[in-house]
């Protein structure tokens, strides 16, 4: 049975900029239109925006919350897992994702990008500025891809997959 | 926004009896009809049966796999989380569940029942025989409920909730 | 290099009886004398008593706390890990242990015993009463051993090992 | 009771340079002399070197292994926890540490630094080059400190603490 592609959409929470929020919503919408599942960290900012964009297009979303209370979700998700793991849920989000789209940097987001690269999960960076030029270059490890727009990011994330 | 009730359906995997498998499928089907989400450990036996029953009724299911490979799922689930946590995913399943229905005993299932009772998640036992009479009685901790049939189990699990 | 044997000592926390506390302290002391490491869940009752007994004999102890604050330890341990995992630390304790001694039943302790049996970690039960007669009997899974005294428990736990 | 300071020493594993290995060993040695506990990820490179340096000075070390087998440790540690969590043990290492010293960058190390900064655990960077100039600057989050030598790193890590 074909499994839908699960795409982690990560980025700053409450400190997200308006541009990041708009981009994340569009990324979520485009992923849903392509038939992919949107996986988020379940809180605000980029996470909530991606879930809303996914919902706009009638897609499926999964929110992996750091706390133990489902009611803490920053936006409606199809299903939620109140992990109670705190920031260790970042690693669980990476495991749950076939590919990760990171909309803008933050320390928490950087931990997810680093864990994804470390464990072989492809990463697409959207709006990472100069940090993207100075990331580690471990031998034999594919570097993150860079996207210029939400459309570009989704295309890079899904490649030839249709979701 | 109302959250759907997430119900963990747990029980023996490949060692499940035919009766346990049939009961789990019916539990999954009835939960889906009531609008609840079915959460399973993602593998075979009772887990796969509950997911199939849920799918029979067009419901939503979430499979929390012990391994890191989504392809290990024992039956189709709406969404899957390949946790890579091994048996620690039992605890994550309990956290993800508003209530747990345990279809028959096994050591793995017993760990889930114990973690649920320990953390205040209501438990319904279906087909636990004499073990149900000898479980710990910690002061102030509600004992698991006991059901005689799948219908009974779902009614006890959802109570006045409509899923 | 020879690794010291890490022995998990588990049991009721604040609800422990005076007999359980005394037995746990003696188990910890005897394990330390044999050169084994004592691993506990880091809180009160049986956990604190085992760590104190270990310390009485100058042994090494490791406390795996459910919370994120090292200061919550119920007794001095050589080293502490404030896991922040809540009850999921029960599974981590089992993984950290080459063998588990369970001093009296409780729901939390039962989850540790069940996870240990499920994952092939030998278990010694001390003072489990009739519950020990009604535990699951999964095909091919060794049943927990039963001890009558702390001396008996340590001997069963370490077998031919010298710690 | 005073708790020893637990210091995470992180950095590249098998891909570590000779300079990183030498620095990590000296960091481990100096931490042990100051009475601190050295916490590592349990494998090779910087991790093994820090544990060896700690052992050179008779200190206590804790190895948090990604796998489930204690025998995978890259160097002797006083105590080991075979977490079976894979790269999620990076987050557990951060939780176990009162402060983190990062000897050189790698993707895995970056995940630990990011999780530490994100969760308020002080970080000291040793030998991070230009990456240190381009890290995220989240509002209200203290940036990592930068050290020039192992002595400098240990002094920054322990501050006024004596271990």
Q: Which of C85, C87, C105 sits opposite B136 (nearest CB)?
A: C105
Over chain B, what is the mean pLDDT? Answer: 95
Are D40 and D77 contacting, i.e. CB atoms less than 8 angstroms apart?
Answer: yes
Closest CA in chain A for residue D88: A91
Residue A75 contacts residue A46 (beta carbons within 8 Å): no
Confidence of residue A128 (pLDDT cuts 50, 70, 90): very high
> Strand, coil or helix: what is A65?
strand
Torsional class of A68: left (φ above 0), alpha (ψ -120 to 50), beta (otherwise): alpha
Q: What is the pLDDT of residue C7?
A: 98
Share of chain C above pLDDT 90, in %: 86
C79 and D64 in contact by Cβ < 8 A? no
Tell me the C-alpha distance between B66 and B47, whole Å. 12
Percentage of chain B with pLDDT > 90?
Answer: 86
**Rounded Cα distance, D20 and D98, in Å:** 22
Binding partners of D (≥3 Cβ pairs within 8 A) = A, B, C
| D5 close to D163: Cβ distance less than 8 angstroms | yes
Crossing angle for the helix pair B18-33 and B150-158, to the nearest 10 degrees: 40
Residue B34 pLDDT more than 50?
A: yes
Rounded to the nearest integer, the mean pLDDT of chain D is 95
The first and second tokens of residue B36, run together, are 């609840």
Taking the C-alpha atoms of residue C139 and residue A90, their distance in angstroms, rounded to an integer, is 37
Which chains form contacts with chain B, at 3 or more CB pairs under 8 Å? Answer: A, C, D
Which of C118, C127, C137 should be substituted to probe chain B, the one whose Cβ sees the most B Cβ atoms within 10 Å? Answer: C118
Identify the residue among B66, B81, B82, B88 best suited for mutation to test binding to D, counting D beta carbons within 10 A and taking the highest: B88
Percent of residues, chain A, with pLDDT higher than 90: 87
Q: Which of D90, D108, D131 is facing A134, going by the closest CB pair?
A: D131
Query: What is the least distance, in Å, from the CA of C137 to any CA of chain A?
Result: 31
Q: Is B88's CB within 8 Å of D85's CB?
A: yes
Please report all neighbours of A, defined by 3+ CB atom pairs within 8 A: B, C, D
Query: DSSP H helical segments within C34-97, as ranges?
Result: 46-56, 89-96
As a whole number of angstroms, the distance between CA B96 and CA D124 comes to 36
Contact C60 D70 (CB under 8 A): no
With tokens 């308020």, the residue in question is D120
Average pLDDT over residues D146-160: 95
DSSP alpha helix (H) spans, chain A: 18-33, 46-56, 89-96, 107-118, 150-158
d(CA A44, CA D45): 38
Read off the pLDDT of residues B69-106 as tens digits, 9 standing for 90 and up.
Answer: 999 999 999 999 999 999 999 999 999 999 999 999 99
Does B107 sit within 8 Å of C111, measured CB to CB? no
Of A91, A105, A141, the CB nearest to D107: A141
* Among candidate residues B125, B130, B158, B155, the one with its CA nearest the CA of residue B142: B125
- Beta bridge partners, C82, equal C65
Other beta carbons within 10 Å of A163: 17
Question: Residue A85: its chain C contacts at CB < 8 A?
Answer: 84-85, 88
Tell me the sheet residues that pair with C64.
C81
pLDDT of residue D2 exceeding 80, the answer is no
Phi, psi (rounded to 5 degrees) for C145: -85, 160
Domains of chain C: 6-158 (3.40.50.450)
Query: What's the pLDDT at A130?
Result: 86
The CA–CA distances, whole Å, from C104 to A24, B113, B134, C125 equal: 52, 18, 14, 7
* CA–CA distance, A111 with D113 (Å, rounded to integer): 8
Distance from CA of A83 to the nearest CA of B (A): 6
pLDDT band at C130 (very low <50, low <70, confident <90, very high): confident
Q: Quick one: pLDDT at residue A138?
A: 81
Q: How many CB atoms lie within 10 A of CB B10?
A: 30
Give the model's pLDDT for residue D13: 96
The region that residue B29 occupies, defined by phi over 0 for left and psi between -120 and 50 for alpha, beta otherwise, is alpha
* Distance separating the N- and C-terminal Cα atoms of chain D: 14
pLDDT at A93 over 90: yes
Q: Name the minimum distance, in Å, from the CA of C59 to any CA of chain B.
A: 29
Tell me the mean pLDDT in the region D153-160. Answer: 93
Q: What is the pLDDT of residue D82?
A: 97
Q: What are the CA-CA distances from residue D113 to residues A115, D22, D101 (Å)?
A: 11, 20, 9
- Alpha carbon of C150 to those of C52, C105, D73: distances in Å? 15, 15, 31
Instruction: Please answer whether residues A73 and A63 qualify as being in contact, where contact means their C-beta atoms are separated by less than 8 angstroms.
Output: yes
- Chain C residue numbers with beta carbons less than 8 Å from the beta carbon of B85 are 91
Subunit contact A81:B64, Cβ cutoff 8 A = yes
| pLDDT computed for residue C30 by the predictor | 98
CA distance D17 to chain B (A): 30
pLDDT digits (tens, 9 = 90+) for D37-51: 999 999 999 999 999
List of chain B residues whose C-beta atoms are within 8 Å of the C-beta of residue D68: 86
Quick check: D138 and A107 CB within 8 A? yes
Q: Give the list of residues 6+ apart from residue B155 with CB closer than 8 angstroms, or none.
A: B147
What does the pLDDT average to over C120-147? 91
Edge-first strand order for the sheet with D37-40 is D79-82, D61-65, D37-40, D6-10, D99-103, D123-126, D145-147
Model confidence over B11-21: pLDDT tens digits? 999 999 999 99
| pLDDT reported for residue B2 | 61
Closest by Cα among C133, C120, C105, C106 to B129: C133
Average pLDDT of span B18-39: 98
Residue C137 binned pLDDT confidence (cut-offs 50, 70, 90): confident
Residue D1 has pLDDT above 70, yes or no: no
Q: How far apart are CA A131 and CA D133, in angstroms?
A: 9
- Contact state of D92 with C81 under an 8 Å Cβ cutoff: yes
Show the CA angle centred on residue B106, arms to residues B100 and B109, nearest 5°: 25
Q: How confident is the model at residue A2 (pLDDT cuts 50, 70, 90)?
A: low
Q: How far apart are the CA of B84 and the nearest CA of chain D, in angstroms?
A: 7
Picking from A13, A91, A94, A142 by the largest number of D CB atoms within 10 A of its own CB, the best residue to mutate is: A91
Per-residue pLDDT, averaged over B36-45, amounts to 98
Q: How far is B106 from chain C (nearest CA, A)?
A: 6
Select the more confidently predicted residue: C2 or C5. Answer: C5
Round to whole Å and give the CA distance between A110 and D118: 10
pLDDT tens readout for residues D108-139: 999 999 999 999 999 999 999 888 988 988 87
**CB pair distance less than 8 Å for B95 and A37:** no
CB pairs under 8 A between A and C: 11
pLDDT of A1 reads 47
Binary contact (B82, A95; C-beta < 8 A)? yes
* Confidence label for C73 from pLDDT (cuts 50, 70 and 90): very high
User: Is C74's pLDDT higher than 70?
Assistant: yes
């Amino acid at each position: 049975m074909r499994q839908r592609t699960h795409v982690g959409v990560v980025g700053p929470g409450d400190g997200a900029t308006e541009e990041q929020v708009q981009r994340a919503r569009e990324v979520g919408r485009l992923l849903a239109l392509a038939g992919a599942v949107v996986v988020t960290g379940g809180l605000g900012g980029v996470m909530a925006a991606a879930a809303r964009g996914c919902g706009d297009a009638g897609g499926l979303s999964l929110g992996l919350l750091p706390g133990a209370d489902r009611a803490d979700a920053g936006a409606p998700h199809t299903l939620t897992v109140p992990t109670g793991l705190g920031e260790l849920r970042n690693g669980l989000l990476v495991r749950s994702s076939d590919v990760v789209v990171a909309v803008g940097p933050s320390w928490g987001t950087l931990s997810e990008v680093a864990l994804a690269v470390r464990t072989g999960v492809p990463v697409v960076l959207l709006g990472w500025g100069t940090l993207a030029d100075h990331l580690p270059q471990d031998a034999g490890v594919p570097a993150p891809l860079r996207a210029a727009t939400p459309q570009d990011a989704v295309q890079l994330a899904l490649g030839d997959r249709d979701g």
